[in-house]
Amino acid sequence: MKARSFQATQDGHLTGEMIEAYAQDGFLILEGYKSVEDCDALRARMADLIDAFEPESVASVFETGSQTHARDAYFRESGGSIRFFFEEKAFDDAGKLTKDKHQALNKVGHALHDEDPVFEAFSRDPKMARTARDLGLSNPLLAQSMYIFKPPHIGGEVNCHQDSTFLYTDPMTCTGFWFALEDADDTNGGLYGVPGGHTDPLRKRFHYQGDDLVMETLDDTPIAPDEQHAPLIAPKGTLVILHGLVPHKSAPNTSDKSRHAYAVHMVDGEAVWSADNWLQRAEDKPMRGFEPTS
């Protein structure tokens, strides 16, 4: 099964064919959305951030299957900060880091778009604002951002999920903008999506219940089997747009190639943001749209 892809427009507007493909598939692949230079600048900035990061200060592992990181205050308080999360396989049985820190991280999140000027410029591109409006987000707000590494040999699997599980609004408006900062395909832990899967119900919600973060099952209908997942092939500079209800996943990276990516998740400010979402922002750091800071 081959997913459709399109060449991005220069100003970010979506053609009628693109909008139709997104409505049918629940995802949209736009090649050449960002330049190679833009991708390389983001990678260089992340390298600088890692250089300044001291791993001894925290050893938080991001584990997508059991959500064990949910008990960690370092994760819970990352909604308005820049926090570093390791791959589980980067540690030995004694809990000692066995890889160079540049090769050991799972991701960095979740407010790069607000807290770092290079990432903010990339994330608040007027071109992206145009695309968001064409998708139907009348008041797009940037809810979270993540730099995802998928390091060679140890890059972990991301199990099949729907983004609205984690960023819930009423009505559901969560939309993912996923950028391939390196070539991403079915050889190095690339994305897979279920075409048309966004027409199915939301299966789960990850949210606060009192002081605890819980994964609540809303609908136990099985997600489509593996053979119905299409590889979302994304050459460097590609934008993959993901509807909040479309099931998607990524395989482990057992190859010699890394698979750096950057994701921004948006919600519509006209919808009601669920107060029990895992992602919490301080009152003096509300979610913002594409307008520059004054």
Consecutive 10-residue averages of pLDDT for the chain (294 residues) = 93 98 98 98 98 79 52 88 90 84 94 97 98 98 97 93 98 98 96 97 97 96 92 98 98 95 98 97 94 66
Q: Which two tokens stand for residue 278?
A: 């895992």
* Spatial separation of the C-alpha atoms in residues 97 and 70, rounded to whole Å: 21
Of 104, 125, 105, the closest CA to residue 113 belongs to: 125
Asked if 266 and 174 touch (Cβ cutoff 8 Å), the reply is: yes
* Spatial separation of the C-alpha atoms in residues 231 and 12, rounded to whole Å: 23
Of 237, 262, 236, the closest CA to residue 116 belongs to: 262
Give CA separation, 173 vs 6, 90, 167, 276, in Å.
Answer: 23, 35, 9, 16
Fold of 5-273: Jelly Rolls (2.60.120)
Q: Which two tokens stand for residue 173?
A: 């408006």
Q: Which amino acid is at 203?
A: R
Instruction: Extract long-range pairs of 100-106: CB within 8 Å, 24+ residues apart.
Output: 101/50, 101/53, 101/55, 102/47, 102/50, 103/151, 103/152, 103/154, 104/55, 104/151, 104/154, 105/50, 105/149, 105/151, 106/61, 106/62, 106/148, 106/149, 106/155, 106/156
Asked if 146 and 275 touch (Cβ cutoff 8 Å), the reply is: no
- Global confidence as pTM: 0.94
**Residue 4, C-beta contacts closer than 8 angstroms, at least 6 positions apart:** 21, 25, 29
The dihedral sign for the CA sequence 125, 127, 130, 131: negative
Please state, as a whole number, how many other Cβ atoms lie within 10 Å of the Cβ of residue 220: 7
Q: Which residue has the tokens 């396989």?
A: 89
**What pLDDT is recorded for position 92?**
83
